[in-house]
Structure 1
Amino acid sequence: MSSKIYSVITGTGIYLPKKKVKNEAFLDFKFFESNGKPVERPNEYIVDKFQEITTIQERRYVADDLVASDIGFFAAKKAIEDAAIDPETLDYIIVAHNFGDVKFGSNRSDMVPALAARVKHKLKIKNPDCVAYDVPFGCPGWLQGMIQADYFIKSGDAKKVLVIGAETISRVIDLHDRDSMIYADGAGATILEGKESSSPVGILTHKTRSDTYRYAEMLTMGCSYNVTEKNKNDLYLKMNGRRLYQYALETVPLSIKACLDKAGKDIMQVNKVLIHQANGKMDDAIIERLYKLYEIDEVPKGVMPMIISWIGNSSVATVPTLLDLILKGSVENQEIKPGDLVVFASVGAGMNINAAVYQF
C-alpha cells in the first residue's frame, strides 16, 4: 500500500481557570423571563432543575485580569511543549472563539487585531510565513479549525498547525437569564502535523453542515431580561434552549453517522465519542439516538466521556479540553490508546454541526 500524508495530533494543552463557581452561587440571583417579568419559581427550584437537566454542578470563570487571547496563549504554550516543536516552524495559527477579548467589567468584544495575531505575538513568533487568523463558528469552532488545518496539511500547504479554542463567556452572559448558568470559560489547544503513513492514521474523514434557513437564531445576542437605564444598550448571549435541544437530537446523530459512513467505519468500531460538552442530558440523548441509527439499544459503557459537571459549557474549548484531560490521565476511568478510533463532534451557533473520525 502506498503511503499518504495524514493530519496527526502531536500535542495538546489546556487552560482551566482556577475560579470555581458552584450552583449555590446563583441562589441569590434575580432571574427574569424573556418578557421582563420575574421568574415565579424560587431560586432553589431553578438551580435544582438546572442541575437535573444539564448535570452541571460547577463551572470555571477566568480571573479579572485575563482575556480569551491570554488563556489561548497559555493553552498554546502547553501544546507546543507537548509536541516538542519550535513555534517558529508553525505554518498556521487558527483561533476559534465567538466574542474576542472581553475585558472584566465590560461585555464589548475586542477582535482587532485577531486573537490569533495576539497569540502569535505572545508566543514571540517572528516567522511571517506563519499565518494567524480566527474562526468564529459557534461552539464547533475548534473542530472546524482542525478541519481547515487538515485541508492545509493534505494539500501540501502546511506541515504544522496550531489550533486553539478559547472563550470567556462569563463576560457576555445576562446574569438575570437562567441559561447563563450553563456557560463557562476555558481554552484548549492542539498541534496538528502532517505525517506520512502507509496505513490510515489521524483525521480520516470529517463532515460539516450549517442549517441557517430555519435555525440561524437559536443563539443570538440580545438585551438583558432585566432592562435598566444602565444596561439598555448592552447585548448578551441568548439561547432558544428548547428548539436547540430538539435540533441537536434530530441532526447531530445523523451527521456523526454520515462521517462514519464516509470513513467506512461502523459505530461498534468506535472506542470514544468526544462530543461538545453542551448539556449533560442532551448529550446522553444524542449518543442514544446515534446508536439507535445502527439498531443498537444499549450504548457501550464509557464510550462518551463527560466533564461538563465540573467545567460547564466553555463553548469552543470543551472538546480540546476533554481530549487533553483524557490523554493526560485526568478523567477517571477514561483513556485513549494507540489504535483507538475516536469521533469528535460539536453543535452550536449558526446552527453549525461538525464531526471528524480520528485514528490514534
Structure 2
Amino acid sequence: MRTIITGTGSYIPTIVKTNRDFAVHEFYSEDQQRIPTPPEVIVGKFKEITGIEERRYASTDLNASEIATIAAKVAIEDAGIDPETLDQIIVAHNFGNVLKHTIQTDVLPSLASRVKHDLKIKNPACVPYDILFGCPGWVQGVIQADAFFKSGMAKKALVIGTETLSRVLDMYDRDSMIFSDGAGASVLEYLPDDGQHRGILSAAVMAHTEEEAYYLYLGKSNFPDSDPRIRYIKMKGRKVYEYAITHVPQAMKTCLDKAGIGIEEVKKVFIHQANEKMDEGIIRAFFRLYGQRTTPEGIMPMSIHKLGNSSVATVPTLYDLVRKGQIENQELHPGDVILFASVGAGMNINAVCYRV
C-alpha cells in the first residue's frame, strides 16, 4: 500500500500588490525609528534579496477557511472522489480566520471544521482538525495523513494549507513585503502498490526551540504611535536565513537517504517559497552534502516572484501549478522522484520524498 496524491487544487487571490505599492510607504525599524533610506531604495534591495515582484492578497469578502474550501473543491474534483468518503480533513494555518481591518484570530470552530461544513460533508467518520506548525504545516499534514494511513485508521484525507497573512502585517515593517495570501489543497489516498512504487517514500522532521523558538513571533508595530496592544507578525530575518541554510539541507538529506534514493534521481524540489536567495542557498547546500558543486537546471520550481510567501500555502500551491503545467518550463512525469521541504516558525523543518 502507498500514500498517493490523487488530486490537487489551489486558490490564487485576485488582488495584486506590486513592489511599486510599497515604494510610497514610510518604514520604521524595530526600535520605532524612521528609516531614512528612501522607500524606493528599500524596495529595490528587497527585490534583489527575495526575488519578489508581486504578491497576492485575498479580497475582504474571503477569509482563510473560505479560500481553503475553494482550493479543496478543485482538489476533490481533480481526484474524482466523493467527499463523503474522506476520513480526515487536515488544515494547516497560523492565524485562523482574521477579518479584514481586525487583528483578532478566529479559530472557533477550527478551520477544518468550517471546511467540512462548507463542503457539506455529512459523514461523521470524517474527522476535521487543524495543524499549527508554522510554514511547514501542509507538509506536516501530509506526513500525519501518511502515518494515519499506515496505522489503519484512515484511507483517504484532504490536506490543506491556507493563510491570509496580509491581515496580520505591520505596513511600517520592511518584512511585511514578503508575505501574501493563498490556499493549496491535496487529496491523499492509501492505495495498493501498482508496481510503479508511486507515492510517499520517506519523511523527516526536526525542530529547534532552545534559541530558535521566537525567530518568528507576534509583536507590536514599528510605528511609534501605534496601539501597543495590537500584535503583528514579526521575523528575525537574518536568524531565520542562517537557521534554514544550516539545517534544512540536512533534513532533506536525511529524508532522501531514508528512502534509499540517490541524489541523481531527484527531478524536482518543491521548497517553501520564503525567499529566493535563501531557497537557492538551501538547494546548493543540499547538493554539496552529496559532493556536487552544481545543481541541475530547473530542479527548483519557484512561484515567489509573483505570489510572494503565503506560508503554509506555498508548497501545495506550487505543486498544483507545476502539476497542471502552469509554471513555465516546469513539468512532472510519471515516475519522477521529488522532494517537498519546508521551514518556519517554531522553528520547524520537514521533508517528504515522493514518487509521482
Same fold (TM over 0.5): yes
Structure 2 portions without partners, runs of 5+: none
1:12 alignment counterpart: 8
2:98 alignment counterpart: 102
Structure 1 portions without partners, runs of 5+: none
Which one of 213, 218, 225 corresponds to residue 216 of structure 1? 213
- SS of the residue aligned with 1:243? helix
Is 1:340 aligned to residue 336 of structure 2?
yes
- For 1:221 and 1:103, the matched residues in 2 are separated by 17
- SS of the residue aligned with 2:106? coil
What is the letter of the counterpart of residue 198 of structure 2? V
- For 1:328 and 1:279, the matched residues in 2 are separated by 24
Is 1:206 aligned to residue 183 of structure 2?
no
The residue correspondences of 1:66-145 to structure 2 (distance < 5 A) are 66-145=62-141
The residue correspondences of 1:1-360 to structure 2 (distance < 5 A) are 5-197=1-193, 198-228=195-225, 231-360=227-356
- For 1:199 and 1:299, the matched residues in 2 are separated by 27
- For 1:81 and 1:201, the matched residues in 2 are separated by 21
- SS of the residue aligned with 2:281? helix
Describe the superposition over 1:218-260 as per-residue Cα deviations: whole angstroms up to 9, x where unpaired: 000000011425x221000000000110000000000000101
Kindly state the Cα deviation for residue 297 of structure 1 after the two structures are TM-superposed: 0.7
Kindly state the Cα deviation for residue 83 of structure 1 after the two structures are TM-superposed: 0.4
What is the letter of the counterpart of residue 320 of structure 1? P
- SS of the residue aligned with 2:28? coil
- For 1:112 and 1:9, the matched residues in 2 are separated by 29
Kindly state the Cα deviation for residue 200 of structure 1 after the two structures are TM-superposed: 2.5
- For 2:50 and 2:318, the matched residues in 1 are separated by 17
Range with bigger deviation, 231-240 or 163-172:
231-240
Identical-pair percentage: 55
Runs of 4+ in 1 over 4 A off after TM superposition: none
Describe the superposition over 1:119-168 as per-residue Cα deviations: whole angstroms up to 9, x where unpaired: 00000001111000000100000000000000111111111100000000
- For 2:25 and 2:138, the matched residues in 1 are separated by 32
- SS of the residue aligned with 2:98? coil
- For 1:124 and 1:280, the matched residues in 2 are separated by 39
Q: Is the 8 A contact 2:64 2:96 kept in 1?
A: yes
Kindly state the Cα deviation for residue 265 of structure 1 after the two structures are TM-superposed: 1.0
- For 1:170 and 1:8, the matched residues in 2 are separated by 32
- For 1:199 and 1:37, the matched residues in 2 are separated by 59
Kindly state the Cα deviation for residue 199 of structure 1 after the two structures are TM-superposed: 4.9
What is the letter of the counterpart of residue 272 of structure 2? H
Describe the superposition over 1:255-306 as per-residue Cα deviations: whole angstroms up to 9, x where unpaired: 0001011111111110000000000000001100111111111100000111
- SS of the residue aligned with 2:97? coil
Kindly state the Cα deviation for residue 87 of structure 1 after the two structures are TM-superposed: 0.4
Q: Is the 8 A contact 2:33 2:224 kept in 1?
A: no
**Count, aligned residues:** 355
What is the letter of the counterpart of residue 47 of structure 1? V
Describe the superposition over 1:188-222 as per-residue Cα deviations: whole angstroms up to 9, x where unpaired: 00000011114532011000001001200100000
Q: Is the 8 A contact 2:10 2:72 kept in 1?
A: yes
